Amino acid sequence: MNTQTHPQLGELGQVEANLLARLDNIPITRGIWTIIGLVTMVWIIEAFDIGMIGSALVFLKQTWPLTSAQTGMLGSAGTFGIVIGLLPAGWLADRYGRKKVLLVGVTVFSAFTYFGVFTTNINQLAVLRFVAGLGEGAVFTAPYLIIAEFVNKKRRGEAVGWANFLLTAAYVLPNAAGVWTMHRGFSAALSWHILFSIGGALIIIVPVLWLWLPESPRFLLKRGKVDEVRRMIERFEDEARLPHDTALTNADTLSAIQAAADRRWGFRDLLRQPYLKRAFVSYCALGSPLALFYAMLVYGPTIFAQMGFGSSNSLLYVGCLQVVSGFGTILASFCSDRFGRPKTHATFMFIAAVCLVLVGLQLPTPFMIAAAVMAWFFGLGGFAMSKLYMSEQFPTQLRATGAATGEVVTRFLLGVVMVYYIPALLKVLHAQGLFMIFGLAMALLVLPLLLVGIETAGRSVEETGKDGILS
């Protein structure tokens, strides 16, 4: 690390630069692992809440005579809520803190999921899923931001990878719960009520987060809470048995702080260079795995059932593929830290695209299963790194806003518009045709990253988010 002192900066700027350099010098200690564990628990709970709609639809279709339009409405209502919830969530997280937004979001989506137990028709349930989605939207970017702003630059990708491995594996939980209700012989009506009850009960995580999850040190520094950050970093240094080096400074981080010191940041900065190009590239990179993610999350069991699998087997198959993609996340995280984000993500997406095309060719069942496993391993395995990469494009004052805007754009186009039309497309193209279209879309969306994406691996988030174009 390039370390030196810079007396030309004001005292407060010098202290901030020192604290950030020390934070980036700290390995992942017990305290930092605790923080990662807490936000991972939030991910797992949110994954159950989002993912259960796919399993619930299997039972709801047996309870209420749903049309394709009603199925599409219920499948997209939660995602539409997420999109709307994300609109203010980024700004609120940049203004009031990552932790506060996280707490409010978990409370909202858990409570309104539980209220779904008492609905008597599909319209009521769709409204509650929309409101729950508002809370999920508030939560979406916070865990990535918190991990990126706590973990050192050398292991940032690895930390997100392990956390996202558990997140990805957690999407098997609603499928497993659905299979469990089937095997217990519960009625379709009782089965979907059980899923919603479990989702609501998970609100118990809120007091745990309130007591033990700290606010992001980088956010606190921008609010002038230097002493609070100093105490936090000294505690981590004590855990790692590192000295409290008040002279340590990273020159590149210091330069980024100096460049942003007197600037006011807002949404309009996303429409100016270099952030406009960075936003476009990173949003496309996120959209590549997101297309596969949403299609399989909401309609995966239905699509595989159309391909000849039974309802129970389809739920298990989709759940197992989610677990497989978790292992892909681990590989992607290690590769992105060592070989770079753009090359790793583009490679993963291209392999997944080819495999999806193979799934659509109606190969013999063993080959089709192998191609599907590879598509999920590489396709959804690259999901976490695309979200981390997006958060690395912007300065601390704009990071949540930039990441939330990316979530809004990609999830509206893919999680609302695409999800709504999938039932109709299934009737025309059938499952095989859809897989081929998904493969082509994934390949096209990752091209901007490969061609003009900047490298962020091994750099502090202050460096990656500054105005200067990185090589």
Q: What percent of the chain has pLDDT over 70?
A: 87
Q: Report the 10 Å Cβ neighbour count for 204.
A: 9
- The residue written with tokens 């989709």 in the block is 318
The values of phi and psi at residue 250, to 5°, are: -95, 120
Q: For residue 258, which amino acid is it?
A: Q
**Looking at residue 127, what is its pLDDT?**
93
Question: Which residues are CB-contacts of 125 (< 8 A; sequence separation ≥ 6)?
Answer: 60, 74, 116, 119
Tens of pLDDT, residue by residue over 394-425, are 988 889 999 999 988 887 888 778 777 777 77
Query: Mean pLDDT for the chain?
Result: 84
At residue 5, does pLDDT exceed 60? no
At residue 335, does pLDDT exceed 80? yes
Tens of pLDDT, residue by residue over 27-68, are 999 999 999 999 999 989 998 898 888 888 888 888 888 887
Q: For residue 42, which amino acid is it?
A: V
Q: Rounded distance, CA 2 to CA 466, Å?
A: 18
Task: Assign 463 a pLDDT band (cuts: 50, 70, 90).
Answer: confident
Q: Is the Cβ–Cβ distance between 85 and 105 less than 8 Å? A: yes
Distance from chain centroid for Cα 99: 16
Q: Report the 10 Å Cβ neighbour count for 238.
A: 13
Task: Assign 299 a pLDDT band (cuts: 50, 70, 90).
Answer: low
**Looking at residue 469, what is its pLDDT?**
46
Task: Assign 213 a pLDDT band (cuts: 50, 70, 90).
Answer: very high
Q: Any idea of the CA torsion for 238, 242, 243, 247, to the nearest 10 degrees?
A: -120
Q: Rounded distance, CA 356 to CA 293, Å?
A: 13
Q: Report the 10 Å Cβ neighbour count for 65.
A: 8
Using H for helix, E for strand and C for coil, what is the string for 95-143?
HHCHHHHHHHHHHHHHHHHHHHHHCCCHHHHHHHHHHHHHHHHHHHCHH
Q: Rounded distance, CA 398 to CA 467, Å?
A: 12
Query: In the chain, helix, strand, coil percent, each to 5?
Result: 80, 0, 20
Q: Rounded distance, CA 16 to CA 462, Å?
A: 12
**Could you give the maximum distance between any two Cα atoms of the chain, in Å?**
73
Q: Could you give the angle at the alpha carbon of 324 between the alpha carbons of 203 and 160, nearest 5°?
A: 55
Q: What percent of the chain has pLDDT over 90?
A: 36
Q: Could you give the angle at the alpha carbon of 67 between the alpha carbons of 423 and 320, nearest 5°?
A: 45
**Looking at residue 109, what is its pLDDT?**
94
| Domain 27-241+263-464 architecture | Up-down Bundle (1.20)
